[in-house]
Structure 1
């Protein structure tokens, strides 16, 4: 299940070709998941969807699980492997022991795997789930596609160095239910920590790419900000109810927000297909996390020059959809009022969305999600900086100002269009 810790940056939009090619697979899984005691291949199919394996192992326009997707890491490019049943270019000749070694222990036929594949999370999977996942993976139709996985420059291309990385960071402790917690919370912990491996994107990393101690506190990953998932009212899920979490993971929207960028792909390919029981278990787990206090900066005064200019820009450019009060439209257009994603220290996702736009989530529960157009062609860097600064310091929000230099940097990184009028 190759996936990099920076996986969220690799999914800035739903890849249309991939979405169409896996539609049948997801539909079959959705039909199978409600069986009260699903086992073997069908349960393995469900586990593959819960792990969102197709997202990293499918190239844009490619066949499911045939690999070829370039994972752009801070250390260079790793290309996701072919995990179809093809014996020459896939894993059709593997044994269960080899599969288990790769998925849970980070050891492939050619040596140690890079933590681009989150074996640090999958190590928590149970023996029974591994057996069922293998039973399903063996049924994936063969696709002949040779993939050169390791494209890293020297010295990162030396796999032997991973022996040191694993010794420093790889915790091989299996998942153990907490006897003081409910069955639902324990199930949610297993889903979040192992299968869905949420911490891979939502936990800040150290200089060597391993999770820091700031679990689920959010981090920026090459153009997107994976938001804070802790229980705090300002930047996290403190104001969300358990049902808000369930609704969001099922449909991509709720009364607070709508998904964008990489998270939309997670919802479309994975979480919308989970059973209601599993979605509620995930919600129970997150709501059981300890409450966290964060430092809330004072909002900029309304008389601030950026605030004055930003308010004017907001009324002209944004109010038609988000309304002049920033209330938005429930379950379609996100509210801007007291929005934790807007209060995030990093404005990366906001810059990405405002410059390039975003595709709204299209799920079974929300088939006509509303998208947002990009404004890179229309607004100068200072105009975008002003409107974001206004949004982040009004309507119940408080967050650091955005500068024109921040916008210029994001525009360059995204390759976003320059303003075509003066």
Structure 2
């Protein structure tokens, strides 16, 4: 059996498909830029076709299992080597995985016609990748970093559950909550490693003390409460205890963020945006808890979009830009187009969260949020696409 290094050496195809992060980051960005305007056409009642295809379920599914799943897979094809010593998917296998993802997107567009066949096609992508992750994890005989394997596997199950809801409407929102919860927990977990690590490296380069707080019992406790709160939200979404735990989780994540001293790195956009993404994660969980306890004062949709557009949108863009530059041999620095990407993503999240609190201009804020979101990802595709499609460039 060939090693990962041999597989990569033998690969002779386009640079775009040499590593998983390259095609998945690019295609995920293009998909994110296109899907929101399509959904908005349906939401605003423009066009007969849009109302049939671009339903609310399609919108939710494609943001969670289309866009976000692609970014997660792209990142884990790189990060997996840190956990197991091998890339879970490399070389020609990347092409197969990308094809599974792309066919899944087409199947979802044809869902009104294909029905359960579309569901089967779409489900394959995460099932195959979860299997690849477990294969490498078992081969490594190390269980220290098994959490990502579990999360991706549960995400695959949530996707299957999402399709089952078409048959069993009573559980309609449970798989949706499960998917959002899993992704947010992944941000809390892996983001909790990346944010202080990159902040510490930046501070060391600039000889700034004290460093961000090291991982300790407090962090473990906060992650435990976050996991418990999210799990309760999935199965018991309206319970008061769920709301309380989510507020405590949000507060705990915010305290973690303060302990990492993010204000020090405000001049380095590529590090600062990681703190912003984690901030949205903390704020979103606290808002979600508050919306359960005081629904008359805080709309649940505002909390969901603080998590979906704010935490997921900001953190995925932060990871995509940093990983793309780092793993294509470029300086890890946020240039003007990159800062524009971050600014537009922040505007998309802010306007979408504020929209339910400003009903007289609700449609206008939705349009502004959608335009900001699509522009952010269109700029990413335009600026980072050539980097991702070309061979490695030596750092200068």
TM over 0.5: no
Name the TM-score, length of structure 1 as normaliser: 0.29
Larger fraction in helix: 2
Name the TM-score, length of structure 2 as normaliser: 0.30
User: Rg larger in 1 or in 2?
Assistant: 1
Larger fraction in strand: 1
